Structure 1
């Protein structure tokens, strides 16, 4: 009599694991509507803190801030000390306290970028921390993978969201370099790597090199850390994804704290400064 019950339990766990894998894959591809539906299916098989966290993440990415807040609160109901849920509840509290509900922060839909596009050869991809980041609801609502555009003004390169709001500026040396390259015909893709109350980090990839710029590397220096950083983002905020030992052996989950350390090597400013040395005389004040 016990064997059929055990078989049913094993089958339920197998289905749950497959759905969990699917939910993470969908999140990695920024397919948030499907991720939302998949996590709701998992909850139908039983509640757990990780699924509520994933549900909250999907809802937040879709701009459903009140619903996301509720999902993270459910995670805290199960595990009051869960750091992911606590962090996101605090973030959503700040947004909701300002009266921002669905669709009120972003006038246009967020454009999401597949972060795997930033895993490329050295010299074409960089990660950097923005300067002059304003305190604003638009910045508070930034999410990983959100596409940004550049606006060049003289030597400065401003980072712009889908609504045309400035969310920061590239630091001066990098900004000057990219301003020259963009004006010379190069094109770049940019997406938010990380956003929190302390800083906003941006991933940049060269998508087109103008023939006139063929002898200039966009991002000189050692940039291998940018690719490693992107790889870690695949499981951002999911370090407690599965409690099952057998399954966690199959997935290389990166600890959340990796994303907030200073170990990643950002673009080599000495290399940029050296490379720009020959061009300084030709730059207008």
Structure 2
């Protein structure tokens, strides 16, 4: 039940349904009140719903449980600069719904990485932030493609080798475009589910 609720909470955040994300993470915390992943997501949902004081309080709670939690540390820094960031976004006409800052990181379950050997420039520059791409594993490589199967780029060999094995063992992942440029595409990869065989394996261990 907890895993299903967590997946739904993550999904709600990815589509920016913050009211649903708030409700789902509150349900998760009834099951495990000290779960820092749920607390971080709840803080994020409150922040996006303009409950800034509540968001800060929740993040401070995370830091009491886990003082080195990188997500909470970054959140506190972000909350401290909220006024300046909001002003900059308005001046530059940046849409929050399309901003990569809205991707939620989870320790061991997410990875942000630059692709190698990029595909056609027109394809790359036509990608929007938040676009869900396909992950296509092969024998020794993992390509990232559009939903139509058009090649975008590929993962570094070390990460590709790890994901190929994990996917063979039953793990599932999603990839989203986080940022693009003429010479760079950054993707955000999230673990969606694990098989029993991989239950104790961390998808993206900290190096």
* TM-score using structure 1 length: 0.38
Relative to its length, the structure with more strand (as a share) is 2
State the structure with more CA Rg. 1
Query: Would you say the 8 A contact 1:118–1:205 is kept in 2?
Result: no
1:170 aligns with 2:158: no
Shift in Å, 1:50: 6.7
Shift in Å, 1:163: 1.9
Q: How does 1:237-256 map to 2 (within 5 A)?
A: none
Alignment correspondent of 1:201: 186
Residues 214/50 of structure 1: CA separation in 2 closer, same or farther (3 Å cut): closer
CA distance in 1, matches of 2:192, 2:99: 13
Shift in Å, 1:117: 5.6
Structure 1 unaligned runs (5+)? 1-27, 31-48, 62-111, 222-267, 269-285
Alignment correspondent of 1:188: 173
Query: Would you say the 8 A contact 1:151–1:157 is kept in 2?
Result: yes
1:54 aligns with 2:64: no
Alignment correspondent of 2:118: 133
1:118 aligns with 2:104: yes
RMSD, matched Cα: 3.0
Q: Across the two proteins, how many residue pairs are aligned to each other?
A: 123
Alignment correspondent of 1:225: none
* TM-score using structure 2 length: 0.52
Residues 151/50 of structure 1: CA separation in 2 closer, same or farther (3 Å cut): closer
Extract structure 1 runs of 4+ deviating beyond 4 A.
49-53, 112-117
